[in-house]
Amino acid sequence: MTFVAGKGEREEIREERREQAVHALEDTQKAPGKEIGADYMLKGNISTILDESEGVKAVYYQVDLEMIDLENNVKSWFGQKKIKKVIERKRLLF
């Protein structure tokens, strides 16, 4: 599997190539038009829910992802993962 840079990163890299075309030695310049196109785009988000009661803290994470085929816009895959992390705080007695 090969990953390509995201939209924001690609613009930064393209700007660097434009700068090289003006300021770098010709034999060290990187030519435009040689990027590799992606087959799929992976999109998603991470949600966090905090819950605390009587010294016990629970953090719930939910990751939702989808993979889209860039050739035909088909959402080829969906995935969801839920994780719960419990943190117990020990009480100090004086």
Residue 89 has pLDDT above 90, yes or no: no
Full domain range(s) for residue 34: 1-38
Shared domain for 49 and 33, answered yes or no, is: no
Q: What is the pTM of this model?
A: 0.67
Shared domain for 49 and 62, answered yes or no, is: yes
pLDDT digits (tens, 9 = 90+) for 20-76: 999 999 999 999 999 999 999 999 999 999 998 887 899 999 999 999 999 999 999
Shared domain for 72 and 59, answered yes or no, is: yes
Shared domain for 33 and 46, answered yes or no, is: no
Shared domain for 43 and 80, answered yes or no, is: yes
Alpha helices, DSSP H only, in 2-90? 7-23
Cα(79)–Cα(66) distance, integer angstroms: 6
Residue 91 has pLDDT above 80, yes or no: no
